[in-house]
């Protein structure tokens, strides 16, 4: 933790006032207070500054290796069991899906046949005949900082959850300091697409592999960061890690991952959240590597347009694994754009009587007050743009191929 002696007088004064205010907060533990103040001290010392763009290099083939060169599991069931007995699977259930209008964890959204994302995760583990059990583990909660005076938002009379935030999935490591097995820390990445341009990527920086997030990029290089030509891989946030090594590093306060400042507005008040990313810990490990996995192993759901893909006949679910339907000839997924009327998952579900068949769809763009009936089939390039003030209902069983629809007369 940066001490007041290493800070400029103005920053040291800010930290001192903040420490006094935080000491009055009864909603969090002493460990959380210490962790929060340590993060703030690092931020005030300038650690959240942008990276030196001139030092960034594309990772070499010995740093990011192809998935298909990994050794296959042994055919001997006993040896496979021996390997599985060394594996602990930790799924972080913190994604709230606020972009989709969710009020709870995004993982409880139904994918199909009454099964949620959590159900699919359990099925995936059960199919390996592994012992399955769960245990609750809460992450830290930190007070949001008021930008104007750098004081905790709860000290301003903001009560309840609005005053607090989770400090990013980098908090998983101090939360797990008493657990762990493996010896090598791996970060799993996948080829980057235009849908992933804002996501983190692995780079070589001053001789070490490092995670680069968009918040660390100087403004004049943001477009370059988004380029899928220069930065070809995307961090999937699937990490393979020696938790025993993590414990050693956490207890030594050595895991000082890059700080990600996240400005927000709560009840009209401008606030600041300081966060860290779990994948950023990769630079603290010698011989760390990335695995370039195929896109078939990575199917993110960040918006209702992504949810439509997963819920459609483009995919099937087998033993909890979401698998591409072999009937789809085109290797690429269709591009889907849904208007603001579909943004919240509740509204999205109401507007589809059943999910349309999109096995032969290339692109779909929907805007306006549009409602889909049951058994609708979409093919080729489809645009549905309801005229202002018009409620446009796509009838049951409609087959729409390479068509633009603006009203009932176009059906």
Q: Where are the domains of the chain?
A: 50-94+152-297, 304-410
Label residue 47 by pLDDT band (50, 70, 90). confident
Strands 110-112 and 115-116: antiparallel
Q: Helices then strands (H, E): number in the chain?
A: 9, 22
> Which pLDDT score, from 0 to 100, does residue 177 have?
65
CA distance 309 to 298: 13
The single-letter DSSP state of residue 115 is E
Per CATH, domain 304-410 is 1.20.120.350: no
Q: What is the pTM of this model?
A: 0.74
pLDDT, one tens digit per residue, over 149-195 is 999 999 998 878 889 998 988 888 877 764 443 333 445 555 666 56
Contact 354, 378 (CB under 8 A): no
Lowest mean pLDDT among 133-137, 329-333, 342-346, 365-369: 133-137
Per-residue model confidence (pLDDT) at position 344 = 94
CB atoms within 10 A of CB 321: 13
As a whole number of angstroms, the longest Cα–Cα distance in the chain is 74
21 against 74, higher pLDDT: 21
For residue 87, what pLDDT band results from cuts at 50, 70 and 90?
confident
d(CA 306, CA 325): 16
Residue 355 is given by DSSP the state P
Q: Look at residues 303, 200, 183, 202 and name the one whose alpha carbon lies nearest to residue 244.
A: 183
Tokens of 218: 């100087």
Contact 364, 335 (CB under 8 A): yes
Strand, coil or helix: 74: coil
Higher pLDDT: 145 or 297? It is: 145
Q: Is the alpha carbon torsion for 198, 201, 204, 209 positive or negative?
A: positive
Report how far residue 209's alpha carbon sits from residue 165's, in angstroms, rounded to the nearest whole number.
29
Q: Which of 244-253, 270-279, 337-346 has the lowest mean pLDDT?
A: 244-253
In CATH terms, are 50-94+152-297 and 304-410 the same topology?
A: no
The yes-or-no verdict on residue 340 having pLDDT over 90 is yes
CA angle 392, 398, 403 (to 5 degrees): 75
- 240 closest CA partner among 297, 185, 292: 185
* Start-to-end CA span in the chain (Å): 65
- Residues in contact with 73: Cβ distance below 8 Å, sequence separation at least 6, in sequence order: 80, 83
- pLDDT above 80 (res 334): yes
C-alpha span between 229 and 85 (Å, rounded)? 40
> How far, CA to CA in Å, does 283 sit from each of 70, 216, 239, 320?
22, 15, 13, 33
Q: Is the dihedral of CA 239, 241, 247, 248 positive or negative?
A: negative
Alpha helices by DSSP H, 255-366: 304-311, 345-351
Average pLDDT over residues 121-129: 80
Given this model, what pLDDT does residue 94 score?
63
Q: Distances from the Cα of 374 to the Cαs of 318, 356, 378, in angstroms? A: 24, 7, 12
CATH number of 50-94+152-297: 3.90.550.10
Cβ(26)–Cβ(154) below 8 Å: no
């Amino acid at each position: 933790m940066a001490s007041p002696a290493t800070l400029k007088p103005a920053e040291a004064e800010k930290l001192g006032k903040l420490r006094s205010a935080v000491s009055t907060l009864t909603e969090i533990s002493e460990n959380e207070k210490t962790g929060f103040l340590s993060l703030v001290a690092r931020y005030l010392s300038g650690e959240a500054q942008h990276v030196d763009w001139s030092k960034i290099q594309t990772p070499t083939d010995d740093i990011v290796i192809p998935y298909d060169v990994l050794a296959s599991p042994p055919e001997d069931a006993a040896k496979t069991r021996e390997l599985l007995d060394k594996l602990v699977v930790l799924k972080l259930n913190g994604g709230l899906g606020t972009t989709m209008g969710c009020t709870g964890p995004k993982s409880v959204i139904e994918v199909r046949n009454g099964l949620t994302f959590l159900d699919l995760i359990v099925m995936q583990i059960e199919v390996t005949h592994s012992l399955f059990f769960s245990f609750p583990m809460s992450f830290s909660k930190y007070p949001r900082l008021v930008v104007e005076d750098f004081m905790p938002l709860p000290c301003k009379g903001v009560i309840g959850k609005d005053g607090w935030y989770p400090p990013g999935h980098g908090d998983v490591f101090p939360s797990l300091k008493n657990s762990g097995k493996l010896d090598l820390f791996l970060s799993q990445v996948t080829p980057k697409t235009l849908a992933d341009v804002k996501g983190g990527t692995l780079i070589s920086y001053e001789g070490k592999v490092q995670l680069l997030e968009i918040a660390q990029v100087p403004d004049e290089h943001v477009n370059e960061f988004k380029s899928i030509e220069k930065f070809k891989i995307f961090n999937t946030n699937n990490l393979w890690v020696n938790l025993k090594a993590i414990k050693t590093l956490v207890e030594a306060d050595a895991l000082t991952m890059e700080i990600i400042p996240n400005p927000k507005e709560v009840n009209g008040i401008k606030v600041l959240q300081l966060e860290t990313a779990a994948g950023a810990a990769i630079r603290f490990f010698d011989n760390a590597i990335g695995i370039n996995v195929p896109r078939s192993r990575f199917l993110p759901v960040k918006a209702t347009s992504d949810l439509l893909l997963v819920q459609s006949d483009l995919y099937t679910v087998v033993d909890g694994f979401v698998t591409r339907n072999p009937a789809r000839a085109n290797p690429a997924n269709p591009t889907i754009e849904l208007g603001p009327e579909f943004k919240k998952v509740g509204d999205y579900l109401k507007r589809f009587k059943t999910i349309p068949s999109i096995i032969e769809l290339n692109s779909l763009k929907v805007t306006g007050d549009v409602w889909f009936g049951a058994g609708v089939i979409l093919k080729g390039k489809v645009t549905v743009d309801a005229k202002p003030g018009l409620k446009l209902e796509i009838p049951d069983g409609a087959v729409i191929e390479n068509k633009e629809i603006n009203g009932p007369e176009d059906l």
